[in-house]
Amino acid sequence: MSLENMSNAAVHVALFPNAGMGHLTPFLRLAALLVDRHCRVTVISPQPTVSMAESKHLSRFHSAFPQFEAIRRSCCLLPSLLASASPPLSAFVCDVTLISPVLPITESLRLPIFILFTSSARMLSLFSSVSRFIPSISEMDSVEIPGVSTIPRSCIPPLLLLPNNVFAKILLEDGPKLPKSCGILVNSFEALELNPLESLNSGKVVKELPPVFPIGPFVPCEFEKSENEEQRNSSPLKWLNDQSPGSVVYVSFGSRLGMAREQVREIGNGLMKSGFKFLWVVKDKKVDREEEDDVEKVIGVELMKRLKSNGLVVNEWVDQSDILSHSSVGGFVSHCGWNSVMEAAWHGVPILGWPQIGDQKLNAEVVEKTGWGIWRKTWGWAGENVVRGEEIGDAIDEMMKNEGLKMKAEKVKETARKAVDGGGSSEISVQRLIGEWKKMNDSC
Ligand code: UDP
């Protein structure tokens, strides 16, 4: 072990993700990244999990890293758990959505708290400065984030425009608490989001904000893959093996979002209209729930028959990162959840963004500005309109045939990999972060 790695072993960090695959995935990737650098990591995992996907993900993680304990998550047990950690904790990294219940605990233990922000730096710039726009945000046409850009009303997460909504209240209370943390980690990298990262770190966005560490993209890990060869060789990867390079459109709207059946059927029509081969993950049930109805029932028998001639339709959990890394995949119709965006960047896959809720339009803007994806702003938020198959087919056609997008996607892949390589901007940020934690150890 090098001298540096030996001293990293003195760092002990506890990670505290919130429920849902969109939160668990980046936390476990961060855990793997820190273990790889010889830090000691305790993951306080959500138990019971809200979905089978999470439960499987955690058990694969535990098999790959037996040194991790699954500690039941409960805020009332948290103080004793953190206080009794052995060796004592250098720092505590929690999901941004948990900042309010956790801050009083870390403050009373005088434990340095860091935040893992699981969305884009662009979204962080809005989230951290949101209190500035209260109470008038619901009447504003746009908000100006100093040093970042003007965000039109149509891109602001709809919940923030409903200040009396309970979730909006939580968000509006959480944002102003960020300055109480010692640092904010984001799954992004300088070459992708230089402008918001610089503005966040120079105090232009919020003067009191702690340092923001861009340490992404988080690299998809081996343990995430289905455990056995048989499963790995089953559809959809096996089906992809039989397709020609760059020919397939992959369609997925993440782990949480169930779509109206009318819209689902229009997507089916759009895929048929585009004429491209496709792998489509249909989600009917909301918020991580397992599907109950047959995919045929959701889509309709007639349409399903036609779809089978040109693609594969599934309604189960797939290994998305494996799919995006497959040479047959030439484009990704995505809701622009930030993990999906970063996975597409990592594998160099062009995106047709179709943001549905929350931060997703801000993330789609990052993709569009970088030039490796497109999105149709007229399609609106989920449920605002039913987007017809005709339009969907045209947009897929535009994404799949656009050579400029493909070149940009390759470039993004190259810069993403450079960022995490030795000497890359994200690797330097990781080293700086671990350095901070070492200093915190020394000052305890
Ligand atoms: N995911 C997956 N298989 C699925 C659906 C989702 O592997 O069938 C993963 C995806 O690769 C990503 C995460 O689940 O890592 C979803 O996070 P994202 O931020 O993209 O969207 P969310 O589900 O939180 O809306």
Q: What is the CA(22)–ligand 1 centre distance, in A? A: 6
Verify whether residue 293 is a known catalytic residue.
no
Task: Tell me the average confidence (pLDDT) per consecutive run of 10 residues in the chain, 444 residues long.
Answer: 74 93 96 94 81 87 76 71 91 95 95 98 94 78 93 92 79 90 98 98 97 98 76 79 97 89 96 98 70 81 95 92 97 98 98 97 98 97 95 98 98 98 98 95 72
Q: What CATH code would you report for 3-221+420-443?
A: 3.40.50.2000
Per-domain residue ranges of the chain: 3-221+420-443, 232-416
Residue 67 vs residues 32, 62, 86, 359: alpha-carbon distances, Å = 12, 8, 13, 35
Say if 3-221+420-443 and 232-416 have the same CATH topology: yes
Q: Which pLDDT does position 162 carry in this prediction? A: 82
Q: Would the CB of 318 count as within 6 Å of ligand 1?
A: yes
Ligand 1 atom having least distance to the Cα of 252: 5
Q: Would the CB of 360 count as within 6 Å of ligand 1?
A: no
Q: Which pLDDT does position 376 carry in this prediction? A: 97
Q: Which of 23, 57, 326, 347 is catalytic?
A: 23
Q: Which pLDDT does position 189 carry in this prediction? A: 98
What's the whole-model pTM score?
A: 0.96
- Parallel, antiparallel, or unpaired for β 149-152 and 91-95? unpaired
Verify whether residue 95 is a known catalytic residue.
yes
Q: Which of 12, 57, 95, 359 is catalytic?
A: 95
Q: Which pLDDT does position 286 carry in this prediction? A: 60
Contact call for residues 15 and 93 (beta carbons, < 8 A):
yes
Contact call for residues 350 and 332 (beta carbons, < 8 A):
yes
Measured CA to CA, the distance from residue 256 to residue 342 in angstroms comes to 17
Q: Which pLDDT does position 159 carry in this prediction? A: 87
Architecture of the domain spanning 232-416: 3-Layer(aba) Sandwich (3.40)
Q: Number of H helices and number of E strands within the chain?
A: 19, 14
Locate the DSSP E strands across 165-282. 183-186, 212-214, 248-252, 277-281
Q: Which pLDDT does position 155 carry in this prediction? A: 95
Q: Would the CB of 97 count as within 6 Å of ligand 1?
A: no
Placement of tokens 């855990």 in the chain: 31
